[in-house]
Amino acid sequence: MQSFSVCSLHSRFLLPIILSILHVALAQEGFCSQPSSSIVNSDSITTPLYWKVTNPTLSPSHLQDLPGFTRSVYKRDHALITPESQVFSPLPDWTNTLGAYLISPEMGAHFVMYLAKMQENSKSAIPKDDVERFIFVVQGSAVLTSVSSLSQELSVDSYAYIPPNLEHLITSTYVTTVLVVFERSYVALKNHTTELIVSSTDRQPLLDTPGEVFELRKLLPTSIPYDFNIHIMDFQPGEYLNVKEIHYNQHGLLLLEGQGIYRLGDNWYPVQAGDSIWMAPFVPQWYAALGKTRSRYLLYKDVNRNPL
Ligand code: UGY
Ligand code: MN
């Protein structure tokens, strides 16, 4: 009641004066604002009514701010998870680390892909029995210690493959280290084992890509013991996949740089750095790089095992 009487006092005696001097301030929310913005609206003085209809927002970065707007989708055979949809919570058994699972078996994947945000004095947990782990540093730096080697520092663009059941610890003292992590149950073969690998993208040679134009590096050995690989694929603006791929392998993708269009099934998605994609077996897939800078993505792919 009191606020009503203050407002009506303003309306009768002060409002005409304030309107003529401070109409901009009056239009702001919470200051006895008028219910109808078309009556007292600073915009209406400088811009015509309905001006957004003829001056639409074209920039994707503005679209990000629209309430409820997201480019993320989740479908039976693919998902696009964009940064505004990532949900972080404490990673089970890790210390001072928040995680966002972007791909998991609930989707139909046989692996998990997650972002781990390691804060100061953070520590990893051990994966479950028979689970292999791959980590790639996106931001900051981490130290990997294992029973089979000395401690090694991993900076941005460095990665490690940790074989199943190898005791190890990832720590970070940096604020904030961001890792992308892949884990899956190892499909063992008789007389074969995998080894601890620590390296960086720039130390991997460019590989031949017959019939394609993109540049390809593989971060893991292509030999039989390894049941997945991680590809780093680079496209210059205007380059695209020649093969409109359909294959039995699954993918987990993180777009590290650039922007373009990803085709998944019958859907065409504008994508940019920071986006992640799950591709189920046999989903039609195709990418074209656009924009002004190269596109680089990191791609999980299961290999070297008979699907039967
Ligand atoms: O190797 C691949 O399957 C890769 N070219 N797929 C992709 O980029 N979607
Ligand atoms: Mn593929």
User: Residues with beta carbon inside 6 Å of ligand 1?
Assistant: 231, 233, 245, 251, 285, 287, 299, 301
Beta bridge partners of residue 136, listed in sequence order? 159, 180
Better-predicted residue by pLDDT, 126 or 28: 126
Residue 8 reports pLDDT greater than 60 = no
Mutate-to-test residue for ligand 1 from 78, 215, 216, 231, highest number of ligand atoms within 8 A of CB? 231
Residue 103 reports pLDDT greater than 80 = yes
pTM given for the model: 0.82
pLDDT > 70 in the chain, percent: 81
In this structure, which residue's CA is closest to atom 9 in ligand 1?
Answer: 285
pLDDT at 58: 59
Report the distance separating Cα 238 and Cα 214, nearest Å: 11
Mutate-to-test residue for ligand 1 from 80, 244, 285, 297, highest number of ligand atoms within 8 A of CB? 285
DSSP designation for 202: G
CA angle (96 as vertex; 95, 100 as ends), nearest 5:
100
Q: How far is the CA of 287 from the centre of ligand 2 (A)?
A: 10
Confidence of residue 6 (pLDDT cuts 50, 70, 90): very low
Q: Do domains 55-85+205-308 and 87-203 have the same CATH topology?
A: yes
Quick one: which atom of ligand 1 is closest to the CA of 249?
3
Q: Is 279 exposed, middle or buried (0-12, 13-18, 19+ CB in 10 A)?
A: buried
Report the distance separating Cα 273 and Cα 257, nearest Å: 5
Report the distance separating Cα 242 and Cα 10, nearest Å: 69
Mutate-to-test residue for ligand 1 from 287, 299, 300, highest number of ligand atoms within 8 A of CB? 299
Residue ranges per structural domain of the chain: 55-85+205-308, 87-203
Q: Is 254 exposed, middle or buried (0-12, 13-18, 19+ CB in 10 A)?
A: buried
Per DSSP, the three-state class of 236 is: coil
Closest Cα partner for 154 from 179, 176, 137, 171?
137
Q: How far is the CA of 87 from the centre of ligand 1 (A)?
A: 27
Unique residue bearing structure tokens 């039609």: 284
Quick one: which atom of ligand 1 is closest to the CA of 212?
5
Unique residue bearing structure tokens 């590809």: 231
Architecture of the domain defined by 87-203:
Sandwich (2.60)
* φ/ψ (deg, to 5) at 230: -120, 120
Report the distance separating Cα 53 and Cα 43, nearest Å: 14
* φ/ψ (deg, to 5) at 62: -75, -35
The dihedral built from the CA positions of residue 87, 89, 95 and 101, taken in this order, carries a sign that is negative
Least distant ligand from the CA of 230: 1
Q: Are 195 and 223 in contact (CB under 8 A)?
A: no
CATH homologous superfamily for the domain 55-85+205-308: Jelly Rolls (2.60.120.10)
Residue 292 reports pLDDT greater than 80 = yes
- Model confidence pLDDT, tens digit, residues 218-268: 999 999 999 999 999 999 999 999 999 999 999 999 999 999 999 999 999
